[in-house]
Amino acid sequence: MLTQIINGRILTPQGWLKDGSVLICDGKILEVTNSDLAVIGATVIDARGMTIVPGFVSMHAHGGGGHDFTEATEEAFRIAATAHLKHGATGIFPTLSSTSFEKIYQAVDVCEKLMKEPESPILGLHIEGPYLNPKMAGSQYDGFLKTPDENEYIPLLEHTSCIKRWDISPELHGAHDFAKYTRSKGIMTAVTHTEAEYDEIKAAYAVGFSHAAHFYNAMPGFHKRREYKYEGTVESVYLTDGMTVEVIADGIHLPATILKLVYKLKGVENTCLVTDALAYAADEGNEPIDPRYIIEDGVCKMADHSALAGSLATMDVLVRTMVKKASIPLEDSVRMASETPARLIGVNDRKGALSKGKDADIVILDKELNVRCVWSMGKVVPGTDKLLHK
């Protein structure tokens, strides 16, 4: 039985403890207190001068470390998940881009196996597509896009319970029946790659679309057709009380002003930070092998410069961007990376906050908000032990 005490400035659900202690044992948090703890045999980690925050919950990432989750192999899942884990993502929902249902079934089998492993950071599967509006999906999904087919998705969702989130375009024929079904299964259903305007978003929310994927990206804002002006998906989501959002807060997909606006209008409880990371995230700067993509200006783009293809960010980058570029308080930035996604996707009974009884998923940040150490289920993640050897 390994008992550890971590001392420092701690973010709790009730706010900051300036000089607090976290007691962890057997992968769980036993106590969070502002008192000095003295436990016989416990290892004491001195993180004073640093910040102790809950592990981040990454619910939209396509890959990392040189691998894409759509490869649907154990190797790809393990390497990509580990790449993000080293940057503080102690809970991960691997995201599949639009692909064949054969691949989805393969990914389901891998995900189910890894979820059963003790102390696995993989908490479930996220599918984006293939039910996407081709006008808004970009060329990277050519050959896979289609309208929702209940003969495909119902057998899949009866086959597995590991799928926790599914994103599609709500204006497609059959999308409402899809959302009603996924809602009945407790699956987070999100609008994505869409042209939907207010009436369509309002109707989509009513049948089960509760979330907007990569808000602002792959969806129109206020626009004009001939002589008349129309609200876009963006304004429609703002006007739909109860619909939650996520933002790719890398400072490139959205400027700081828009990040501030989302924070102001939707708030901490309804906003998540996501990476939307591709395989090239946390991959030591390796260039894409796929000729469709280029790395430029710190982001992955389509080679023809027609659109952004995805980010290179990790969860710690998002928190730093929100604090340093968008001037959002650290506590709120962390909550949008941990507490809010954990609650929205249904794992807040064990993830997303530093409180008694929850998993000992802990990230230590230095004064520049760089990761110094990560604990996942009470164990230090290899390669993140800078604090222990300072």
Active-site position among 68, 250, 276, 316: 276
Residue 265, CA atoms < 13 Å, CB-side half-sphere: 19
What is the rounded CA–CA span in Å between residue 183 and residue 273? 23
What is the rounded CA–CA span in Å between residue 205 and residue 179? 9
193 annotated binding-site participant? yes
Torsion angle (degrees, nearest 10) of CA 74, 78, 84, 85: 140
Spatial CA neighbour of 1 closest among 36, 43, 46: 43
Active site residue 276: yes
Residues annotated in the binding site, as ranges? 128, 193, 214
Residues annotated in the binding site for Zn(2+), as ranges? 128, 193, 214
Q: Which residues are known catalytic residues?
A: 276
